[in-house]
Structure 1
Amino acid sequence: MSSPARHLSGAAELVREFNHDSRVTRADWEFPGASYDALGALSRLVGMLPQAIDQTAVPVLHTHKHGRLLIDGGDADEAVKHMRTALDTAMQAARFLSAAVDHLHSTTSPMGLDTRGLPEFEE
């Protein structure tokens, strides 16, 4: 796997690990602050997706620019045109997702744990 793609593969693996680890509550995953922290990190990750999506096309566009793009049973110019349309759609969806996750993160900002009456939190 090429070096830049390796980074995305690693990020996907880390998201898979988060999905596994966050299924149930535990000492470090129990209170609203944990959600806020996770959503902040997720917001940062999702915010980088439009640029990452855009840059996935660099090798294809480079190859096409140099007249070396081969398409099985098709026309390179048409294939790149179709790819650019799909790329624009994916980048727009990523921007919408980023805005939604940012909003979700901000909704958890005022949330906390009511510790009144909980002996483990008494001074």
Structure 2
Amino acid sequence: MPENPAHHLSEAAESVRAFNHTSRTAAKDWEFPGDAYRAVGSLSSLLGMLEQTIQQSTRPVMNTYEHGRVRIDGNGDPDVKVAELIDAQNDALEAAAALSSAVQRMHSATSPMGVDTSGMPEFEDDEG
């Protein structure tokens, strides 16, 4: 039996939380512009998929609604709530596109960056 698709989003959220935790301070393998370039590139890739994820995340609601089976607590109007969902989803899609574009620009900006290793003993040639 395949996993519930929402499980994968939960795993993605956990991975982002782990990144936030481990990237707080400079450490080995997390101190130079190339490290940021790789991280921003991965973030850009993730965000590039966000619009599709937003669209597909509401499929269970829309399928149920199309079959006239959505029920709202307190005898609310399903048409109103689904319209609210669609409006919010459209806002989310617009925001996701803008965020993805901004992070792509970040990735481009970090692309030419490197580190000046002069005077750093760990980068000196041993051949001297």
Q: Shorter-chain TM-score: which interval?
A: over 0.9
CA shift at 1:118, angstroms?
2.2
User: Counterpart in 1 of 2:20?
Assistant: 19
Give the % identical residues: 55
Instruction: Give the letter aligned to residue 101 of structure 1.
Output: V
Q: Deviations over 1:17-68 (max 9, x none)?
A: 0000000111110111000000000000111111101111100000011111
Residue 52 of structure 2 corresponds to residue 51 of structure 1: yes
The partner residue of 1:81 within 80, 83, 107 is 83
TM-score (norm 1): 0.95
- In the alignment, the residues of structure 2 paired with residue 42 and residue 90 of structure 1 have an alpha-carbon distance, to the nearest angstrom, of 17
The partner residue of 1:122 within 116, 121, 124 is 124
Q: Which runs of 5+ in 1 are unaligned?
A: none
- In the alignment, the residues of structure 2 paired with residue 118 and residue 101 of structure 1 have an alpha-carbon distance, to the nearest angstrom, of 31
- In the alignment, the residues of structure 2 paired with residue 75 and residue 118 of structure 1 have an alpha-carbon distance, to the nearest angstrom, of 67
- In the alignment, the residues of structure 1 paired with residue 6 and residue 117 of structure 2 have an alpha-carbon distance, to the nearest angstrom, of 46
CA shift at 1:78, angstroms?
1.7
**1:1-123 → structure 2 map (5 Å cutoff):** 3-72=4-73, 73-123=75-125
RMSD: 1.1
Instruction: Give the letter aligned to residue 45 of structure 1.
Output: L
CA shift at 1:122, angstroms?
2.2
Instruction: Give the letter aligned to residue 26 of structure 1.
Output: A
CA shift at 1:115, angstroms?
1.2
TM-score (norm 2): 0.91
- In the alignment, the residues of structure 2 paired with residue 15 and residue 69 of structure 1 have an alpha-carbon distance, to the nearest angstrom, of 33
Q: Which runs of 5+ in 2 are unaligned?
A: none
